Chain A
Amino acid sequence: MILTFKEVYLHSYGCAVSEKVAKQLSSAKIDHIFKDDLGEECSFEKGERAYLSKACDAAIRKSTLQMNELDCAIGADLNNQLSASHYFIRDYEIPFIGMYAACASSALLFNQAAMMIEAKQAHNILLFTSSNYGAASKQFRYPNTYGEQKKESATTTLTGAGAIILSNIPSTICIKEGFIGRVIDWHYNNVADMGGAMAPAVYQNFIEYLNQTKYQIDDFDCIATGDLSKVGFHSFAQLLMQDHINVDQRFMDCGLHVFDMQKNDVFSGGSGPACSMVVLICELLDKLEKGIYHRILLLASGALFNPIAIYQKESIPCICHGIVLERCIS
């Protein structure tokens, strides 16, 4: 489902990350760095809210808006019942929509917010995503100190949060287009290889988007996938090359940019709803603002599995949502 927007602009942004992530990203754009996953709190879940608090606080402070000018907030995280988002936003007292698309949440939130602004139902919307390594391990995998021998194809959930305010107030960066992707389930059930599971979903949704819009890859200065990481990104590139699409320097993966890939402890790369959001804020928006990029496509990828479904021998359904950000003269 392709969406086009004419009146949606990126107003401000903020992000908070852990020290491990901060070492790798451009620190000029990071608003707060926490020492560890706990975020100076007593549990990972509370820590995730602390990260969100810093990211959203920064985005609002950098904007020209008052709190009462925010019409709505839209948030996403990996926790059951979106607990990080709900327990965080309760202090803000603004209308809230919680959404879940796992690691594809960033692009989904952009599309949702842009639709509401384009339809003139809202003027200013705060959107945020977060993830926490400790909380995600507790919910999806094993306790953090458990002596599990992780596979090399496994990804490491990034601990961080990113917040963006979209508005109808003209600015340098506008949201031009987006697509809501289809769920693709190709009967893959290896939960130690999320990247490989998501690669076909990104490939299929991306090809369908190109076919419907008749765009070429040259129409974009950068095509960034969310968190396919090593295995997934190589698979995605191979699938594109089989379709005679030249995978050149404009293709990148956010999951390969958030950690130092030379160190063994991150395995295949980074993942999480905050992954694509944080790389967008720290690396890609900067290039758009400086005019290095004029038009970028973010293909946020998500693995929509449930641990109970996996134990019941189900496979991993995956999705990819997309958003096009453009530099526009304000």
Chain B
Amino acid sequence: MELKKYQDVIQKNQPRKKWVKNLVIAFVSGGSIGLLAQFLKVMLMNVFMLEASIASSYVIVCIILIACVTTGLGWYEKLAQYCGAGLFIPISGFANSLTSAALEGKSEGFIYGIGSRIFSLAGSVITYGIVSAALFGIIRLLLFGGQ
């Protein structure tokens, strides 16, 4: 079997990766979500007179809500195809992964469908987030006495 020949031909026919374009779009779209979040926070603090920390929490909830609703409407995936990392890095990506998995699991019912599948994509994030928190907590305790 001519492995080298196949590798050369298939490699040559790969579509060109648009690194710069994707980077710029991801930067702008991710930054736009940051801007939106900041705008919401300022609005919540000045119009609704909330404290900064509470306003921050509400902003996260708002972003999650927008991501879930747009996922259900089928708009999120079209936007994500264009924006790439700009959309999946912020909390919107996490919300979308849960919502899309839950929508998919609907046909198998609440327990085996929605309940089992909702974390199928986000499971790794949660698992390694918790493991890292525990690990770094232990390291901090050993090195700095928990200070």
Contacts and interface: CB of A to CB of B under 8 A. Distances in A.
For chain B, the bracket of interface size reads 35 or more
A227 interface: no
Nearest to B103: A145
Interface string A32-68: 0000000000111100000000000000000000000
Contacts of B104: 138, 143-145
Interface stretch (B35-43, B51-59, B80-88, B131-139): B80-88
A249 B118 CA distance: 49
Given A143-B103, A147-B79, A147-B80, A187 B15 contact: no
Interface in B23-63: none
A142 B13 contact: no
B10 interface: yes
Contacts, number: 98
Given A42-B107, A43-B107, A45-B107, A196 B10 contact: yes
A266 to B, nearest CB: 12
A147 B13 contact: no
A6 interface: no
A231 B13 contact: yes
A238 B12 contact: yes
A144 B3 CA distance: 35
Given A142-B100, A143-B100, A146-B100, A235 B13 contact: yes
Interface in A132-171: 138, 142-153
A230 B14 CA distance: 9
A87 interface: no
Contacts of B12: 238
Would you call the interface of chain A mostly helix, strand, loop, or mixed? loop
Contacts of A45: 107
A145 B117 CA distance: 14
A199 interface: yes
For chain A, the bracket of interface size reads 35 or more
Interface in A172-190: 184, 186-188
Contacts of B99: 145
Contacts of A148: 77, 80-81
A44 B101 CA distance: 14
Q: Looking at B6, B87, B100, which has the most chain A CB atoms within 10 Å of its CB?
A: B6
A265 B81 CA distance: 9
Interface in B57-99: 71-72, 74, 76-77, 79-81, 83-85, 87-88, 93, 96-97, 99
B10 A235 contact: yes
A39 to B, nearest CB: 13
Contacts of A199: 6, 9-10
Top 6 A-B residue pairs of the complex, sorted by shortest distance between their CB atoms: A147-B80, A43-B107, A152-B15, A143-B104, A143-B100, A146-B100
Interface of B: 1, 3, 5-7, 9-10, 12-15, 22, 71-72, 74, 76-77, 79-81, 83-85, 87-88, 93, 96-97, 99-101, 103-104, 107, 121
